[in-house]
Amino acid sequence: MPGNEKKILFDRPAIERRVRELADEISRDYAGGELLLIGILKGAFIFMADLARAVTIPCRIDFIRAASYGDEAKSSGRIAITKDVELSVEGVDVLIVDDIVDSGLTLKHIADELKTRGPRSVKVCAFLDKRKRRKVPFEADYVGFTIDDGFVIGYGLDYAEKYRFLPDVYVLTDEGRREVGDDK
Ligand code: PRP
């Protein structure tokens, strides 16, 4: 039945409020400094755009992309950087920005890699945190919302590459997954 494929989790006003709070906290923590925001493609692109405009300190912007590889894909824990940053991180304050932490594998790998390149500091800001699903110990420094398990879509998050454009965050129902094709 149309309309039953997803349920709202966070609407636009709630998202805007939380992004503003995160940006205020980040602006206070880095007061007087500058930040290099590094978004993890593709999911971070909308959150990153909102966060970059809400912080009150100067920011430079770059992006990085990672992929899992191996027979078991993500569960293998093997992550490779498939598009590296273009700016140098040496001597600068880096804030990695992502839409969601799940197993922690992606963010841990990227944070560990960037830390080897001589930055002044590396912190992580994740819009959503599925804390119970960690496979490796990892804590983001700034978290928008902690959520339970479930297929979360919208605000940059996809299911089989659909739904990233939705301004609100939803949980996809079983019916929604069937509609898309449960092939992910
Ligand atoms: C998602 C998300 C995070 C990562 C989190 O990206 O954007 O980067 O997975 O999962 P983890 O904590 O288990 O590593 P995905 O690989 O789906 O790519 P996308 O951002 O292009 O959707």
Q: Which of 102, 141, 168, 183 is catalytic?
A: 102
Closest CA to 104 of 122, 82, 130, 123: 130
Question: Cα separation of 169 and 117, whole Å?
Answer: 34
Which residues does ligand 1 sit against, CB inside 6 Å? 40-43, 74, 98-107, 158
- Could you report the per-residue pLDDT of 1-26, keeping only the tens digit for each? 457 899 999 999 999 999 999 999 99
- Please give the full DSSP string across 12-79, using - where no structure is assigned: HHHHHHHHHHHHHHHHHHTTTS-EEEEEEETTTHHHHHHHHHH-SS-EEEEEEEEEE-STTGGGGT-E
**CATH number given to 12-69+77-149:** 3.40.50.2020
**For ligand 1, atom 13: residue with the closest CA:** 103
pLDDT of residue 76: 63
pTM of the predicted structure, to 2 decimals: 0.94
